[in-house]
Amino acid sequence: MEKKLRWGIIGTGGIARKFAQGLRESRTGRLVAVGSRAEGTLKPFLKDFPATGHASYEGLLADGQVDAVYISTPHPWHAEWAIKAAQAGRHILCEKPLTMNAAEAGKVIDAARSAGVFLMEAFMYRCHPQTARLLELIREGRIGKVRLVETVFSFRAAWNPESRLLNRALGGGGILDVGGYCVSMARLVAGAAEGAAFADPLEVKGVGQIGETGVDELAIAVMKFPGGMLAQLSTGVRLALENRVRVWGEEGHMDVPSPWVVRMDAGKSILVVQREGERAQDVKIHADRGLYAIEADAVAESINKGESPAMTWADSLGNMRTLDRWRAEIGLRYDGEG
């Protein structure tokens, strides 16, 4: 039996719990250690997900039983701990956004390259077979030449100025939290439309509503890509929208009813294809594991290559550059960015 990848988790928040749950379904990995600076959250986490507990992130990185780490801290600490993980020789799956900006992302990638370790930004939807099927349909020309993609990811968080979502010091706001999904999907579709892995926008225009805590509560962008495809993106943390992806071609359109958190368990998801003059067709996709188990296994499958085709280093860097441009459009800079 092949040895399973031994995972350590940095952080004990909600997303860390989802990943830990996913590891229980994983074919390739198992949880062996958890690191947290807060004893009040570490003990309950270990009760639900038994593993070696560390009262510091440094302790987890020094744990010889850990092969790979999942970084689930708030955004501003991603770069620091990804670099330290690389220097410790640990493979890295880092929650989105990879860093606060493209300059930091470049430093993380350089650290991974220098250390010879795996690094992937954790856009879990990229690993799911639903996304692969969407790209296949685009490349097959099922709806003709793609002209427009609409991506939406926005929700209404409870009002708490100290929360991660609304606190500037914690990297709050919609663009960094969930806008990265919208950008990554638009770039993915634009690439597929032109026979490439992804494409970066030629133009980025944006507007946003910056709230009293100094973060973007709602933001909208329009982008133009090589080949002429346009994109409309909407994101936010204080307004619940219909989270979806729609791809419009010259011969019809496709709807992705659940593009981001496809489903947490095994089972079917659907894409809806509507060709002009024809009845809408449900394209069913079956996954035998949940979303985060698939993500963990995607890491193991590519770990010897250093990066995964689901989210390459060049792709992550391009995504961060586009997010930087969107934030610049609405005048949003975080402390320490100059």
Residues spanned by the domain of 184: 125-330
Say yes or no to pLDDT of 40 above 90.
no
259 lies in the same domain as 167: yes
79 lies in the same domain as 143: no
User: What is the predicted pLDDT for the residue at 39?
Assistant: 79
Could you tell me the pTM of the whole model? 0.96
Say yes or no to pLDDT of 2 above 90.
no
User: Rounded mean pLDDT of the chain?
Assistant: 97
Return the structure tokens found at 321: 């550059």
* Domain count within the chain: 2
Task: Assign 3-state DSSP to the chain and report helix, strand, coil percentages, each to 5.
Answer: 35, 30, 35
Using 50, 70 and 90 to split pLDDT, how confident is the model at 338? low
114 lies in the same domain as 210: no
Using 50, 70 and 90 to split pLDDT, how confident is the model at 62? very high
Using 50, 70 and 90 to split pLDDT, how confident is the model at 334? very high
Q: CATH number for the domain including 235? A: 3.30.360.10
Residue from 140, 141, 314, 146 nearest 225 by CA:
146
Q: What is the mean pLDDT of residues 31-44?
A: 93
304 lies in the same domain as 161: yes
Say yes or no to pLDDT of 1 above 50.
no
118 lies in the same domain as 132: no
Residue at a domain's end among 66, 99, 123: 123
Taking only the tens place, the pLDDT of each residue in 236-269 is: 999 999 999 999 999 999 999 999 999 999 999 9
